[in-house]
Amino acid sequence: MPPAWKPAYLIHGDDHGRLAERRARLRSLAETESGANGAEVLEGDESTPEAAAAALSAMTFAIGRRFVIVDGVERWKEADIKKHLVPVLKDLSPDLTVTFFAREDGRAKAPKSLVDAVKQAGGDVAAEQVRKTKELPRWVQQEAKRLGLDIDHSAAQALVAQVGERQQRLLRELEKLALEHGQGMQLGLDHIEEEAAHSAERAVWGLGDALVAGNRAQATRIFLELRSQGESIARLVPLMARRVREVLEVAERLESGESPAQVKASIKPPWKADARLREARRSDVDALRRALEELADLELASRGGEELEDDTVALRTIDAIAA
């Protein structure tokens, strides 16, 4: 049975991974219900109160429900919303659903006039906030209960320590535990320490390894998996850059004439030394330097310096580095 759609939604908060997940889910539902072109998306420079009002007012011959997804509303000015959008939201077509997304950060917040207009239109406003560290164990227990698991507080604390503080990663780990054990299972500290692997963290480092090795297919696959788990590009870019720098430093020292024994003696931890030397010998110093430049450009683009979506720019960067 298809969901009962409301005319308008506003989804806001500082949990950007969860916002991205909900946006992707909404687009998938829209395409399932109304076809491949079932969702019209406004983002980047195209996302303005005036453009949103025009999209909502447009006459179309589409069959079925229309979906309009509007990103980046945290940048909008109150005066523009009141002038262009509020009047339109008062009289939405019954076969149209609009969803606004506000990625909050610092002073960038969902505009109050938009919050009020969505509510007055009979829509929903939902917040996706990053939990404070001290709140995460209790949140883990609540989510575990929803999935049919009973996890005590010490086990919840251990899961946070082992998997990290990103709620999407914690939720994926809980889902895996629920699939493995089924409904009603009581999990204690021993279960978590034995079974909750550091899989997400390993995947983050695996992305760097694939990038340095020039394995484009593997790097792309790992990147997409991490993004689906809620990993932010802001976290991934520095880790990729750090991995490239490690290999570049060794390659530059070998190129300058240092002996492998000298370089190996200075690599910490020692058990990584042989692998680092092999990577450096297989790598091209100029290519590694260009990779760092590409990653610097990606970091800039992820902060709003590029019109394309962050994921698109990131995948192009991975393609360029690993090619």
What does the pLDDT read at residue 1? 45
Domain identity same for 190 and 84 = no
Residue 206, in any domain of the structure: no
Domain identity same for 118 and 15 = yes
Residue 204, in any domain of the structure: no
- Choose the final residue of a domain: 127, 152, 180: 127
| Domain membership of residue 100 as a residue range | 8-127
Task: Give percent of the chain with pLDDT exceeding 70.
Answer: 90
Domain identity same for 25 and 120 = yes
Domain identity same for 140 and 123 = no
Decide: residue 32, CB within 10 A, 0-12 exposed, 13-18 middle, 19+ buried. exposed
Residue 243: give its domain's CATH number.
1.20.272.10
**Adjacent-strand bridge partners of 69:** 41, 99
Domain identity same for 147 and 123 = no
What does the pLDDT read at residue 199? 54
d(CA 198, CA 103): 28
pLDDT at 39 over 80: yes
In this predicted model, which residue has the larger pLDDT, 98 or 226? 98
pLDDT in tens, 119-134: 999 999 998 888 788 8
Residue 2, in any domain of the structure: no
Greatest mean pLDDT among 60-64, 129-133, 215-219, 305-309: 215-219
Residue 118, in any domain of the structure: yes
- Choose the final residue of a domain: 146, 163, 197: 197
pLDDT in tens, 180-224: 888 888 888 877 766 665 555 566 778 888 888 888 888 888 888
Contact 318, 216 (CB under 8 A): yes
Residue 91, in any domain of the structure: yes
The rounded mean pLDDT for the chain is: 84
Domain identity same for 97 and 148 = no
Confidence of residue 49 (pLDDT cuts 50, 70, 90): very high
pLDDT in tens, 220-256: 888 887 887 677 787 788 888 888 888 888 989 998 8
What does the pLDDT read at residue 16? 83
Residue 52: give its domain's CATH number.
3.40.50.300
The CA distances from residue 15 to 43, 62, 117, 182, in Å, are 18, 34, 23, 29
* Mean pLDDT of the 65-83 span: 94
Confidence of residue 309 (pLDDT cuts 50, 70, 90): low
Residue 175, in any domain of the structure: yes
- Choose the final residue of a domain: 127, 144, 179: 127
Domain identity same for 147 and 176 = yes
Contact 185, 152 (CB under 8 A): no
Phi, psi of 67 (to 5 degrees): -125, 130
What does the pLDDT read at residue 196? 62
Confidence of residue 101 (pLDDT cuts 50, 70, 90): very high
pLDDT at 9 over 50: yes
Domain identity same for 137 and 31 = no
Domain identity same for 149 and 236 = no
Residue 108, in any domain of the structure: yes
Domain identity same for 21 and 113 = yes
Residue that the structure tokens 């949103």 belong to: 52
Contact 93, 64 (CB under 8 A): no
Residue 172: give its domain's CATH number.
1.10.8.60
Domain identity same for 15 and 51 = yes
What does the pLDDT read at residue 2? 52
Number of domains in the chain: 3
Domain identity same for 23 and 119 = yes
Residue 145, in any domain of the structure: yes
